[in-house]
């Protein structure tokens, strides 16, 4: 539930979908289609789950582990998390480029300040 500074609640939590649709229409990021014969109106535009999906995608691109991303997004099961963690063609291309890069070389003892002293052999 969002709070506005001096005007009370911004969204009524009893019917979040309708309140979200009204807010998006007012912000011009969604529209309400004309009512059908039954008097129902359909909202078309940004939905809350779009934001959740984008948040997960952005977390994964930063290298956040899936377990941490699930904790942040509130997903309790792996199956539902996987429905939000959508892979696109660019993800596959990026992964393949990383595989083709040569591995970083590790030089043990390259820094003289961290190099262990050589054992002294007695003649």
In this structure, the answer to whether residues 34 and 51 fall within a common structural domain is no
Burial code of 1-25, b = ≥16 C-beta within 10 A, e = fewer?
eeeeeeeeeebeeeeeeebbbbebe
In this structure, the answer to whether residues 41 and 58 fall within a common structural domain is no
19 occurs within a structural domain: yes
Over residues 59-96, the pLDDT tens digits come to 998 989 999 999 999 999 999 999 888 888 988 998 89
115 occurs within a structural domain: no
In this structure, the answer to whether residues 56 and 36 fall within a common structural domain is no
104 occurs within a structural domain: no
Average pLDDT for the chain: 83
| Residue 12 binned pLDDT confidence (cut-offs 50, 70, 90) | low
Per-residue pLDDT for 115 more than 80? no
Tokens of 85: 């963690």
Distance separating alpha carbons of residues 76 and 30, to the nearest angstrom: 30
Q: Which domain, by its residues, includes 6?
A: 1-45
In this structure, the answer to whether residues 33 and 53 fall within a common structural domain is no
In this prediction the pTM is 0.57
């Amino acid at each position: 539930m969002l709070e506005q500074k001096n005007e009370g609640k911004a969204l009524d939590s009893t019917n979040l979908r309708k309140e979200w649709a009204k807010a998006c229409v007012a912000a011009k990021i969604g529209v309400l289609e004309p009512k059908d014969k039954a008097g129902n109106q359909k909202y078309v535009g940004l939905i809350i789950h779009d934001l959740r999906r984008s948040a997960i995608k952005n977390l994964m691109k930063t290298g956040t582990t899936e377990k941490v991303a699930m904790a942040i997004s509130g997903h309790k099961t792996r199956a539902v998390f996987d429905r939000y963690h959508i892979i696109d063609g660019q993800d596959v291309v990026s992964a393949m480029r990383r595989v083709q890069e040569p591995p970083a070389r590790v030089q043990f003892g390259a820094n003289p300040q961290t190099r262990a002293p050589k054992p002294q052999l007695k003649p």
